[in-house]
């Protein structure tokens, strides 16, 4: 080895003696001179800087020019400029503006052909503020203000009872340097926010931040478990100076979100059931539910469960309003509590709240109380009234001739009907000759009531079929859907009676049938087709009618939107006019039509108008007649609704509570009555919620607390039910899923508490973990170093032994 080094030294000396250059090839260089367009510049002065380049060797393809203006000059071309080969072979002009007090600009020029950057200085005669009238005005340096902001604005989240760590990045987003920076975190001043700081100080000191530079800020504090779940506002207070010593003070709001944590005691009600499931007035009902403490961390004792809010609809059957639970541990499944109640006989259909009062002693033997509310749904039963055996004149009624209309009202429902108001109304040319409003106080299930009304056409009554509307209303409109039924009576005008009632044949609509394609009933949905069958009858006993032309018409939709206006009914696959060759005396002719209902038709009874033109012979003369009639068609709007996004966590701890919240909007054109939301597959505070009637275009808000009781994938279902305008109940189901994870509470420690030494809150890390990792890493590193030293010594010793041999 020594010989090799000797030979190398000799070689180098020989080469030097022989004059061989062993250094690198001389690099190319660029020099340049600068010219300022103005001899003197002031703050706000615009001027140009011209650079004249000189090459020592070939011109490089490109170069980079870096300018440091010490924040005293703004350069329009930028501060990092790439110069092309053509720029280097000519003069290059910079457009500058004086904004500070420095008298020089430092330059640095680099290129791939230049091994060492070329640095230089451009001198500028900067005298600050411009003189005026022999006096100088001092420069306002406060305008050179840096702008400090927090760059990452994501809202940190923590559970109540755990640590929250704020890792913030402070950035100088302005143009000027900030010095002597002080940042103070001011925690939320909200009285509900309770915390303990984990850091030595909430104040940070930063020496300097230049333009675009950033600094890390870290704060940590414990959010106490008594802090309610919501978003809180805290502040960062900045104090710093610009390069001229001007002080700047500002604040910036920072938001933190607190979620519900794990309080020491959190009593819940679950598996709320009532038997029977549908409660009716005057019935006994058994109310049961589980009281559990699975969401708390310590045992409660002497737990008394009582009911409040009784007497307004429900009463205790056995007279004992109270149940005692001796103790309730967090790891217990819960205690079932049952009350026997009686629903008052005068209860109406609806949802009735009952308050459950939970009074207990906590682990420190302090008495506490919490109240939970549950709802009992009362259904008054199905009140179903039918109109049967309608009797009205089938022949011709002359003007001023009285006639009777009678019918039967039958209670076909499941419960007694009360306070029914029955009204029969005709048009303005048909007047009642008896009381046209009758009240039925009560009707037992299956009972029949016959009612008779007397009417008379006025002398001005026109020749046509006049419609009479039979309407049945309930005193409680929310519990009883109004019923409408129509009957037609043909009236002959007075002026035509003198000619003799038998001389002129009359065509009447003897009967009609309506069949909806979707509802399979006489009620049709707006925007859909329905079939109508018309029976035209010639009432004359000897004369036939011929060349009959029937024209269809309908009332106009009354919507103010012109795009939604137009005729309510339109014939499908046929014209609005059809022809019948003839109808013999006393004969009926059947005609079937398909009609389309416009989508914007209002939910009510609309008339399908008929104009009947026909010819007949009298005294060997051909005469004509035109009669108008109308067919009532009940139209309803299809119901629909949407919900906002239904969000739950992708995974949940067994027994962990989470909020499920969303909005329900009625997007249809009809009211959704008795709207109810039920949760299946999950535990919930209120498994069935009654929201009432949801009017068209309105939005209602739904909120509930849910939890899971098993591990693995759990599927839940939201069941939406409501009553449609035709009285039928609609059900819509939506599924949602999550994954259940086990929550380990650790071994129990007696009835009055648990050993919380090994219990770690979700979202928390044991602070000792970091220390333990550092110690283990240090020991491992020392062991590696010692091992290397020992091995090297053994190798060295072995070599020495070999050398001695």
pLDDT one-digit tens code per residue, 405-423: 999 998 887 777 888 889 9
Question: What average pLDDT does this structure show over 561-567?
Answer: 59
CA 756, 761, 767, 768 dihedral sign is positive
Q: What is the pLDDT of residue 22?
A: 29
Is the predicted pLDDT of residue 313 greater than 50, yes or no? yes
Task: Give the three-class secondary structure for 771.
Answer: helix
Q: What is the pLDDT of residue 803?
A: 38
Q: What is the pLDDT of residue 351?
A: 74
Q: Are 489 and 465 in contact (CB under 8 A)?
A: yes
CATH no. of 29-132? 2.60.40.10
pLDDT digits (tens, 9 = 90+) for 151-184: 876 778 887 777 888 888 999 988 888 899 999 9
Q: What is the pLDDT of residue 612?
A: 92
Whether 387-498 and 641-741 share one fold: the answer is yes
Q: Is 666 exposed, middle or buried, given 0-12, 13-18 or 19+ CB atoms closer than 10 A?
A: buried
Strand order of the β-sheet with 672-680 is: 651-653, 729-741, 712-723, 672-680, 688-694
- With cut-offs at 50, 70 and 90, classify the pLDDT of residue 564: low
pLDDT digits (tens, 9 = 90+) for 106-128: 998 888 777 778 888 898 888 87
Give the CATH architecture of domain 641-741: Sandwich (2.60)
End-to-end CA distance of the chain: 20
pLDDT above 70: percentage of residues in the chain: 83
- Confirm or reject CATH 2.60.40.10 for domain 387-498, answering yes or no: yes
CATH no. of 148-259? 2.60.40.10
Q: What is the pLDDT of residue 2?
A: 43
- Confirm or reject CATH 3.40.50.300 for domain 502-638, answering yes or no: no
Domain spans of the chain, in order of start: 29-132, 148-259, 268-378, 387-498, 502-638, 641-741
Residue 664 bridge partners (DSSP): 643, 700
Q: Which of 15-19, 459-463, 518-522 has the highest mean pLDDT?
A: 459-463
Q: Are 160 and 230 in contact (CB under 8 A)?
A: no
Is the predicted pLDDT of residue 464 greater than 90, yes or no? no
Is the predicted pLDDT of residue 477 greater than 80, yes or no? no
Comparison of pLDDT for 64 and 378, the residue scoring more: 64
Is the predicted pLDDT of residue 560 greater than 60, yes or no? no
Q: What is the pLDDT of residue 755?
A: 43
Q: What is the pLDDT of residue 756?
A: 41
Pick the CATH number of 268-378 from 2.40.400.10, 3.30.390.30, 1.10.10.10, 2.60.40.10: 2.60.40.10
Distances from the Cα of 298 to the Cα of 292, 362, 606, 752, angstroms = 12, 8, 67, 7
Comparison of pLDDT for 201 and 312, the residue scoring more: 201
pLDDT digits (tens, 9 = 90+) for 222-242: 888 778 878 888 899 999 998
Is the predicted pLDDT of residue 748 greater than 70, yes or no? no
pLDDT digits (tens, 9 = 90+) for 538-549: 888 788 899 999
Q: What is the pLDDT of residue 782?
A: 60
Distance, CA of 736 to chain centre: 15
Is the predicted pLDDT of residue 495 greater than 60, yes or no? no
Comparison of pLDDT for 184 and 10, the residue scoring more: 184
Q: For residues 789 and 609, what is the distance between their CA atoms, to the nearest angstrom? A: 110
| 3-state SS, one letter per residue, for 277-329 | CCECCCCEEEEEEEEECCCCCCCEEEEEEEEECCCCCEEECCCCCCEEEEEEC
- With cut-offs at 50, 70 and 90, classify the pLDDT of residue 558: low
As a residue count, the chain comes to: 805
Is the predicted pLDDT of residue 38 greater than 90, yes or no? no
Is the predicted pLDDT of residue 443 greater than 60, yes or no? yes
- With cut-offs at 50, 70 and 90, classify the pLDDT of residue 575: confident
Is the predicted pLDDT of residue 205 greater than 60, yes or no? yes
Averaged confidence pLDDT in the chain:
79
Q: For residues 799 and 362, what is the distance between their CA atoms, to the nearest angstrom? A: 77
Question: What average pLDDT does this structure show over 182-190?
Answer: 90
Q: What is the pLDDT of residue 128?
A: 74
Comparison of pLDDT for 796 and 23, the residue scoring more: 796
pLDDT digits (tens, 9 = 90+) for 92-102: 889 888 888 88
Is the predicted pLDDT of residue 721 greater than 90, yes or no? yes
Is the predicted pLDDT of residue 91 greater than 90, yes or no? no
Which stretches of 494-567 are DSSP H helices? 494-497
Q: What is the pLDDT of residue 784?
A: 62
């Amino acid at each position: 080895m020594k010989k090799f080094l000797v030979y190398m030294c000799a070689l180098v000396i020989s080469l030097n003696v022989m004059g061989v250059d062993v250094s690198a090839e001389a690099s190319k260089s660029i020099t340049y001179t600068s010219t300022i367009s103005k001899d003197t510049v002031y703050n706000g002065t615009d001027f140009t800087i011209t650079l004249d380049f000189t090459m020592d060797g070939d011109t490089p393809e490109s170069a980079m020019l870096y300018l440091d203006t010490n924040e005293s000059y703004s350069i329009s071309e930028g501060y990092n400029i790439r110069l092309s080969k053509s720029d280097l072979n000519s003069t290059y002009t910079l457009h500058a503006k004086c904004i500070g007090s420095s008298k020089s600009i430092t330059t640095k020029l680099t290129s791939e052909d230049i091994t060492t950057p070329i640095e230089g200085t451009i001198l500028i005669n900067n005298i600050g503020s411009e003189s005026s009238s022999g006096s100088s005005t001092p420069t306002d340096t406060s305008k050179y203000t840096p702008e400090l902001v927090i760059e990452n604005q994501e809202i940190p989240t923590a559970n109540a009872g755990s640590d929250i760590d704020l890792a913030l990045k402070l950035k100088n987003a302005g143009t000027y340097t900030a010095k002597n920076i002080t940042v103070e975190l001011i925690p939320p001043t909200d009285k509900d926010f309770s915390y303990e700081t984990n850091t030595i100080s909430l104040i940070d000191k930063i020496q300097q931040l230049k333009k675009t530079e950033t600094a890390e800020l870290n704060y940590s504090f414990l959010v106490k478990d008594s802090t309610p779940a919501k978003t809180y506002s805290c502040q960062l207070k900045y104090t710093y100076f610009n390069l001229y010593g001007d002080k700047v003070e500002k604040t910036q709001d920072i938001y933190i979100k607190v979620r519900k944590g794990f309080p020491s005691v959190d009593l819940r009600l679950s598996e709320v059931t009532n038997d029977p499931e549908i409660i009716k007035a005057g019935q006994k009902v058994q109310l049961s539910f589980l009281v559990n403490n699975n969401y708390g961390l310590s045992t409660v004792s002497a737990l008394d469960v009582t009911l409040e809010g009784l007497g307004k609809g429900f009463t205790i059957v056995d007279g004992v309003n109270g149940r005692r639970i001796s103790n309730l541990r967090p790891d217990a499944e819960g205690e079932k509590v049952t009350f026997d109640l009686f629903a008052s006989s005068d209860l109406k259909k609806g949802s009735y709240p009952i308050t459950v009062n939970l009074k207990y002693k906590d682990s420190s033997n302090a008495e506490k109380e919490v109240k939970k509310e549950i709802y009992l749904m009362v259904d008054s039963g199905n009140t179903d009234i039918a109109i049967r055996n309608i009797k009205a004149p089938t022949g011709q009624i002359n003007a001023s001739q009285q006639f009777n209309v009678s019918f039967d009202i039958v209670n076909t429902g499941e419960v007694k009907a009360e306070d029914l108001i029955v009204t029969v109304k005709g048009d303005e040319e048909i007047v009642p000759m008896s009381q046209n409003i009758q009240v039925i106080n009560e009707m037992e299930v299956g009972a029949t009531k016959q009612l008779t009304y007397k009417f008379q056409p006025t002398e001005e009554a026109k020749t046509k079929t006049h419609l009479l509307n039979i309407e049945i209303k309930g005193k409680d409109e929310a519990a009883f859907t109004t019923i409408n039924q129509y009957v037609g009576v043909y009236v002959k005008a007075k002026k035509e009676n003198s000619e003799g009632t038998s001389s002129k044949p009359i065509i009447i609509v003897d009967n009609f049938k309506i069949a909806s394609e979707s509802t399979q009933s006489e009620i049709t949905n707006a925007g859909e087709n329905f079939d109508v069958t018309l029976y035209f009858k010639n009432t004359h006993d000897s004369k036939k009618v011929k060349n009959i032309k029937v024209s269809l018409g309908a009332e106009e939709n009354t919507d103010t939107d012109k795009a939604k206006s137009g005729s309510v009914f339109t014939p499908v696959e046929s014209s609005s006019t059809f022809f019948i060759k003839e109808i013999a005396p006393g004969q009926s002719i059947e005609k079937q039509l398909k009609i389309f209902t416009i989508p914007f038709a209002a939910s009510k009874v609309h008339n399908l108008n008929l104009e009947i033109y026909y010819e007949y012979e009298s005294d060997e003369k051909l005469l004509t007649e035109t009669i108008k009639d109308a067919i009532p068609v009940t139209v309803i709007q299809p119901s629909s609704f949407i919900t906002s996004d239904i969000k739950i966590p992708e995974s949940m701890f067994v027994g962990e509570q989470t909020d499920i919240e969303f909005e329900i909007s009625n997007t249809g054109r009809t009211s959704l009555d008795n709207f109810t939301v039920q949760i299946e597959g999950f535990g919930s505070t209120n498994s069935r919620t009654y929201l009432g009637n949801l009017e068209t275009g309105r939005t209602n808000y739904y909120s509930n607390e849910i939890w899971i009781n098993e591990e693995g994938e759990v599927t839940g279902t939201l069941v939406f039910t409501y009553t449609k305008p035709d009285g039928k109940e609609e059900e819509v189901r939506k599924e949602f899923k999550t994954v259940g994870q086990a929550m380990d509470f650790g071994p129990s420690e007696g009835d009055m508490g648990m050993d919380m030494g090994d219990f770690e809150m979700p979202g928390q890390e044991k602070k000792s973990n970091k220390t333990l990792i550092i110690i283990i890493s240090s020991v491992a590193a020392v062991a590696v170093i010692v091992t290397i030293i020992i091995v090297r010594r053994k190798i060295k010793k072995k070599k020495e032994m070999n050398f001695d041999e």
